[in-house]
Amino acid sequence: MNKTGQKLYLSAKKVILGGNMLLSKRPEITLPNLWPTYYSRAKGIFVWDLDNNKYKDMICFVGQNILGYADKALDNYVLKNAAKSNMTSLNCPEEVELAKKLIKLHPWSGMAKFARSGGEANAIAIRIARAATKKDHVAICGYHGWHDWYLSVNLTGKNKLKNHLLPGLYPSGVPKNLKDTVHPFNYGDFSHLKKICRKYDLAAIKMEVGRSSLPDRNFLKKVRHFATRNKIILIFDECTSGFRRNLGGMHMTQKIYPDICMFGKALGNGYAISSVIGKKSIMNKANNSFISSTFWTERIGFLAGIKTIELMKKIKSWKIIIKNGKYLAQELKKLAKKHNLDIKVGGIESIVSYTFNTKNNLKYKTFISQEMLKRRYLASNITFLTIHHKKKVIDEYIKNLDPLFLKIKLFEQKKDSVLKYLKGPVCHSTFKRLTD
């Protein structure tokens, strides 16, 4: 039924390092040996695989398409203007326009820098903070990309990133002299942050405003005051959370403002664009640092960012995805209660995740992905909502989940075995096994 994608992935692992470019899109993470893996086209929340099977996408990895796939107004705007040429010896004016738009949305800022991925934006922000303060040490909370500066946390061999979304990552290839320059703390643990500051002379505190839960205003306020008092640059990573609770950074809803902030993913609705915005007094101090790249000047990303913001503002997209995300979370809880299953529903309102509070969670996650695929759904235990995940879509999704939750109830009661139903291996819990 969907053999072409699986066959291609086996071929890909022979010619592409790691098999593909994004860890979370590897089939081992969702449904090993059975996942379609590749798409031929997409529209709204519908995705067609290489065998022309049509699926409703209830995952929408990794949250970049708030407006859905192949938004007509956005695509037409980008294609029309990109056709005038994407890159020349001169710069495109849209770079300035997007910078002004982002600064207007965030009056605390005054200057922007652009890249094409969230990881790049995070690396730029660290470079700026270190250049501005002439200090090396950084305290971090959350996930901030793949670059050496971040992965160096695990040079101690203690897997210190295990509480920051990506456990199991090896710092292979990361220079050993970066050891003990980046120091993780957990969200809400203010006392640990203070201990780090007492031990190290920090250039910056970098953290996500909210991912697995809504922002804790009291905690953010403490961190802001602490950073100001100790002359530490406060950086908010909003590559995931940005534009999902308001038009711009989620920190604006808390009225707590950083010194630097990054955006990615949803900023271009699937087109490659990321940004770093910050206070002029800080950004200008990095003028003597080399931060430059050829394709940071291409036109398509800027066009997409401009139009995406315009379309989001017009329809108030954040209100739509919050409303429907709350409804999805509510219905998942009701379904679990109906079948007497213990689940934990988490995430911010427009990123809804759930886990079964049992040692068999990964087996059940795999079972659901497998059985929902038969029902023409791309499904896992997380949904990055788009404006197309409306009540009707959610109701149909829950209706299809219902008999699967019933089966899981029987598994939990030991009246049946989930392993009897799995057609392939259990999905991976971390990224450490992907090269095995």
Reported as a single tens digit per residue, the pLDDT across 52-103 is: 999 999 999 899 999 999 999 999 999 999 999 999 999 999 999 999 999 9
Q: What are phi and psi of 287, to 5 degrees?
A: -60, -25
Looking at residue 431, what is its pLDDT? 53
Strand locations in 71-136 (E) = 111-115
Between CA 364 and CA 368, with CA 366 as vertex, the angle to 5 degrees is: 70
Give start-end residues of each CATH 3.40.640.10 domain in the chain.
72-315
N residues, the chain: 436
User: How far apart, in whole angstroms, are the C-alpha atoms of residue 374 and residue 377?
Assistant: 7
72-315: what fold?
Answer: Aspartate Aminotransferase; domain 2 (3.40.640)
Q: What is the pTM of this model?
A: 0.95
Looking at residue 377, what is its pLDDT? 98
Kindly report, residue by residue over 382-422, the tens digit of the pLDDT: 999 999 999 999 999 999 999 999 999 999 999 999 999 99
Instruction: Specify the higher pLDDT residue, 160 or 135.
Output: 135
Give one DSSP letter per residue of 245-283, joined into a string. SSSS-THHHHT---SEEEE-GGGGTTS--EEEEE-HHHH
Question: For residue 100, what are its two tokens?
Answer: 């002004």
Looking at residue 435, what is its pLDDT? 37
CATH 3.90.1150.10 matches 3-70+316-420: yes
Give start-end residues of each CATH 3.90.1150.10 domain in the chain.
3-70+316-420
Average pLDDT, the chain: 95
